[in-house]
Amino acid sequence: MVMRAFLIDDDDGAANSAQIFSTEMLTFEFKKPETLESFAKELFCAKPGMIVVDYRLDERVGDKDQAVSYKASTLAQYLRDLAGDGGSEDFPIVLHSAEEKIREYFHPEKTAHDLFDHIIKKSSRKDVDEEKRKLDALADGYVRLLELRPYNDKLLVIFGLDKQRAHLIDHQEIHDLAATTTIPHIFARFILKRLISRNGILVDDLTVLARCGVNANDDGNQRIFDELQRLGANYTGVFSGFRSMWWRLTVEIALEEWLGGVVNSFSAQERAAALKQKFGYDFKPAKSAWSNSSNERFTHVCSICERPTLVAHSVAVHERLSGPLIERRRICFNCIQEDRHMDRIDLRIDALDKPVEDAVRKGTIQGEQSGGTYGEGDGNCR
């Protein structure tokens, strides 16, 4: 199936992006913004497979064109309202913008980014194939969510599960949402923002490897993913093409069996050695960037450097979205020591962990390279 899609930008120079973003599923047409109400209706009635819109649609207008001077969020809200009125037409809306504008836009107090299913940074042109794969996954997910309404008796299909594994989505939040909405973009937002983009009941590839205690840069790790896939641990539901994710519970149960005990009781070195026994492959153990040791019991992946870490070597991120489905993100001491967190407006450190942040920055808490390690305790674990 090939669907019409629109790329909206006030800059004629963006017209060639329409060609670049077109995929096997989506044929993009370039459009410049017009008067809001009639433009939104025109777009909506064209039943597109997707809309990609530039953040600032008001940068190149003269005084006479104030009617076409609005931001992407205004247009997106208008389109979402139209979809909400009937619910029988809906499509992904993707933001396309320069990095610095996205950062301003992503201030934690602003919630307008909830209007968008995905963001493409203009600087990330080199990843265009990866972006196109994601766009196809989004378009495909919306088509499925339109077909699968009402959602309350289709949850197993939506999440790619059979009856035996229904317990994996046995969360009131999921069932309540399915019972109260038939609007695809609301269900899509839930799956994309709360499940696929975040560790929680699902976990990403790097977290799987951190839990396995193995170095992430080793092609041999594919053995682990292949076996987990055989066990049905991979997420195969709606939007599964968007990002590789795994059912945490299935992964943890498998790992516990492979290791012969509770995962957190084993260091990375011990986990990698046990996996060598299981797979007959000499996995490299993961090493802590903070203590420079593989004798650590990794629980998390740092949200900035994406290296394995543990609660005792990291601080918690203040979360606007939190709850039983979403794991609180963490920032490792290395990133704090090197001030990598200072310009991440989207990753503010939780106020309760501020004293720890200050201590790391002042050098009161030091890593192995500085001649000391932070204690084993989980004092800041919440």
Find the binder of Zn ion among 26, 138, 315, 332 (CB under 5 A).
Answer: 332
Out of 302, 315, 349, 360, point to the residue binding Zn ion (CB under 5 A): 302
Instruction: Return the number of other C-beta atoms located less than 10 Å from residue 53's C-beta.
Output: 24
Judged by CB under 5 A, the number of residues near Zn ion is: 5
Instruction: Write the DSSP symbol of residue 89.
Output: -
317 binds Zn ion (CB under 5 A): no
DSSP bridge partners of 7: 30, 52
Least separation in angstroms between CB 31 and Zn ion: 41
**CB of residue 314 vs Zn ion: minimum separation in angstroms?**
8
* E strand intervals along 136-235: 202-204
Distances (CA, A) of 223 to 169, 220, 229: 27, 6, 10
Q: Which of 211, 225, 215 is nearest to 310 (CA)?
A: 211
Of 197 and 314, which CB lies nearer to Zn ion in the complex structure? Answer: 314
Name which of 151 and 333 has its Cβ closer to Zn ion.
Answer: 333
With respect to Zn ion, which residue has the nearer C-beta, 92 or 213?
A: 213
Cα–Cα nearest to 209, from 270, 281, 268, 296? 268
CB of 334 to Zn ion, least distance (A): 5
Of 165-173, 203-211, 297-305, 319-327: span binding Zn ion (CB under 5 A): 297-305
Burial class for 377, CB neighbours closer than 10 Å (0-12, 13-18, 19+): exposed
Alpha-carbon distance of 218 to 11, in angstroms, equals 43
Q: Which of 335, 347, 356, 365 is close enough to bind Zn ion by CB under 5 A?
A: 335
Nearer residue to Zn ion within complex by CB, 238 or 336: 336
Nearer to Zn ion, 5 or 360 (CB): 360
Q: Please, which residue, 53 or 335, has the CB nearer to Zn ion? A: 335
**Cβ of residue 340: shortest distance to Zn ion, in angstroms?**
7
Residue 172 CB, shortest distance to Zn ion, in Å, is 33
Which residue has tokens 């389109």?
79
Stretch that binds Zn ion, among 42-50, 158-166, 298-306, 370-378 (CB under 5 A): 298-306
Tell me how crowded residue 155 is: count the other CB atoms within 10 A of its CB. Answer: 18
- Residue 2 neighbours by CB under 8 Å, 6+ apart: 24, 25, 26, 27
- By CB under 5 A, name the one of 305, 311, 325, 345 that touches Zn ion: 305
SS3 347: coil
Q: Which of 304, 310, 347, 360: binder of Zn ion (CB under 5 A)? A: 304
- Cα gap 280→182, rounded to integer Å: 49
Residues that bind Zn ion (CB under 5 A): 302, 304-305, 332, 335
